[in-house]
Each structure stands twice: as C-alpha cells, then as structure tokens.
C-alpha cells in the first residue's frame, strides 16, 4: 500500500512539474573543440595574412586569439572575401566570422551577431597630394570616381548616388580599391573610417579625411549562424570582458592607434536575438 501511494505521488510530481516550471530554455549548443573562424586576409590593421610565413596580424585576429584562450578551444582560420561572409555562415562552413562585419537589420534577417565591439562610420581615403575632396558634397555631387568593395555597407550607402553625382567603381576586395587609388585610377576610396586608417598606415602616400564621415554607424559584431542564441550569449559575455577590462584599448592602440579611442567604443552590447524569431 505504501509503495502504491509512493508511486502515485511520484507520478503526480512528474506530471505536475512541467506545468509549474518556467518557460523552456533552449539547450545551449556546445562549442566544438576546433572553432572555424572566417577572416579576411587583406585588411591592414584588422586582418592580414602573410602567405610565406603564414603569419596573421590585426585587431580582428587579436580578438579571435583572445577568444580562443577564453573559450579554451583550438582555432582554424578560414580565409573569406567580404562578399562570402554571410554565405559561409549560412552554409555552416565556419562557426563564426570576425571580419569588420557591420551589424545591420538587413543582415540580422539571415544571420546573428554578437556585439558590437567597435563603432565607426563611413570615411574617405584620398591620395596625400589630392585636395579636391573636402566635404560630403565634394564626394557625392562632383562626379568623382569613388571605389567601394562589393557586398559591403559602403557600397549600399553610396549606390543611390551612382550615376547621379558620382561614378562608383566596385571591386571584389578592399585591397583592389586601395591599389586603384594609389595608381590614380579612382579619386577616392570609401569604406569604414577605421578600416581606412589601417590602409593609410600601410602606405604613406594616402590619407584619411578625418572630418568627413557620413551615413549610418558601422557597428562591428561577430557574425554567427542564424538562431544561435546560446553561442551569441556566450560570446557577448566574453566581449563585455574584452571591451571593459582593458584588452580592447590595448589591441586598438597596437593595430590602428586612431586619435580618439573612446569615440569607437560601444557603450553597451545589443541583446542577442531570440532563436524563435
């Protein structure tokens, strides 16, 4: 009789426990032992790769290395072009992308982001001896030839002016735009101002127009496959430590040393997207 009562009580508990519990929490996705991280290879100051020595340098590489130690995982870098970043995440060729990857509402529809860990705006790079472009009107209304990389937010922001006040040259990679600028094939090269600082640092015959920024903020985040909230939450926690406990300043100073570091630092991280939406 006692056993029967015990069984009944146990059954009742098992039946009722789910009813009284909180909302079901998605099971965290365990990170694999080896993380495949998508990076670019031709962004001076952010992510470069020397083929001979196999050496990688830049802010994004430093961040990936810092995350590797925090997550206690091995990392394999996967070389990507800018326009390949979203596809690589959608096809699960990489676990994450760390590559001056601007968070946008449009991109959030197909992938997730942890971040932002950097804020910049669109900027303009010109040859050091060229003083024709001084402001936004000079850039967009005087039929200058401006180079942007395909698949970037820079292309999106200048595309409406193409053929109306400027001529847009689209290159598959940022390095292509930089070469065109140095070789005097275009009047200016536009992309995120912090990225341009990296290029200007690598070749002294160019300069960033410090006072000319435009468009929406470029907020860099770590790109993740869609609906991966658990990994996003995990990375966001580490990014907070990265941002507010000293390493962020150290890495930025070492790789890009812009004038005003604080201007590029996010005040807070975005909430990770709910996996159900």
Reduce the DSSP state of residue 244 to 3 states and report it: helix
The CB density around residue 227, as the number of other CB atoms within 10 Å, is 15
CB contact burial 53-66 (16+ within 10 A = b; e otherwise): eeebbbbbbbbbeb
Residue 41 CA to residue 239 CA, distance in Å, equals: 23
* 20 versus 204: smaller Cβ distance to other proteins: 20
* 233 versus 273: smaller Cβ distance to other proteins: 273
* 103 versus 186: smaller Cβ distance to other proteins: 103
* 47 versus 153: smaller Cβ distance to other proteins: 153
The residue among 194, 247, 189 whose CA lies nearest residue 218 is 194
Residue 53 CB, shortest distance to other proteins, in Å, is 36
Residue 223 CA to residue 128 CA, distance in Å, equals: 34
Which residues contact other proteins (rule: CB under 8 A)?
4-5, 8, 11-12, 15-16, 18-20, 102-106, 108, 113, 116, 153, 156-157, 215-217, 219, 267-268, 270-271, 273, 277
Residue 215 CB, shortest distance to other proteins, in Å, is 6
* 48 versus 153: smaller Cβ distance to other proteins: 153
Residue 95 CB, shortest distance to other proteins, in Å, is 21
Radius of gyration of the chain, Cα coordinates, nearest whole angstrom: 23
Residue 192 CB, shortest distance to other proteins, in Å, is 11
Reduce the DSSP state of residue 70 to 3 states and report it: helix
The residue among 122, 121, 126, 101 whose CA lies nearest residue 111 is 101
**H or E, element range at 178:** helix 174-182
Residue 160 CB, shortest distance to other proteins, in Å, is 10
* 16 versus 263: smaller Cβ distance to other proteins: 16
* 61 versus 103: smaller Cβ distance to other proteins: 103
Residue 7 CB, shortest distance to other proteins, in Å, is 10
CA dihedral sign of residues 171, 40, 243, 209: negative
The residue among 78, 76, 79, 94 whose CA lies nearest residue 41 is 79
Residue 273 CB, shortest distance to other proteins, in Å, is 7
């Amino acid at each position: 009789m006692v056993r029967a009562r015990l069984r009944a009580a146990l059954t009742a508990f098992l039946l009722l426990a789910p009813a009284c519990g909180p909302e079901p929490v998605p099971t965290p996705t365990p990170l694999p032992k080896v993380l495949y991280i998508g990076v670019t290879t031709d962004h001076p100051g952010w992510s470069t790769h020397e083929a001979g020595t196999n050496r990688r340098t830049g802010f994004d590489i430093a961040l990936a290395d810092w995350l590797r130690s925090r997550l206690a995982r091995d990392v394999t870098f996967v070389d990507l072009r800018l326009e390949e970043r979203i596809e690589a995440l959608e096809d699960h060729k990489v676990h994450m992308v760390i590559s001056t990857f601007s968070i946008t509402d449009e991109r959030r529809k197909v992938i997730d982001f942890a971040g932002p860990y950097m804020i910049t705006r669109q900027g303009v790079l010109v040859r050091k001896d060229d003083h024709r472009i001084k402001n936004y009107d000079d850039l967009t209304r005087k039929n200058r030839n401006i180079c942007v990389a395909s698949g970037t937010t820079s292309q999106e922001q200048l595309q409406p002016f193409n053929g109306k006040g400027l001529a847009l040259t689209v290159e598959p990679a940022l390095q292509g735009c930089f070469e065109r600028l140095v070789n005097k094939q275009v009047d200016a090269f536009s992309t995120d101002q912090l990225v341009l600082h990296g290029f200007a640092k690598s070749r002294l015959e160019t300069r960033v127009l410090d006072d000319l920024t435009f468009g929406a903020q470029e907020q860099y985040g770590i790109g993740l496959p869609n609906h991966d909230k658990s990994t996003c939450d995990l990375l966001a926690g580490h990014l907070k430590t990265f941002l507010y406990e000293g390493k962020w300043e150290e890495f930025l100073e070492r790789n890009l040393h812009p004038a005003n570091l604080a201007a590029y630092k996010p005040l807070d991280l975005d909430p990770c997207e709910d996996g159900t939406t």
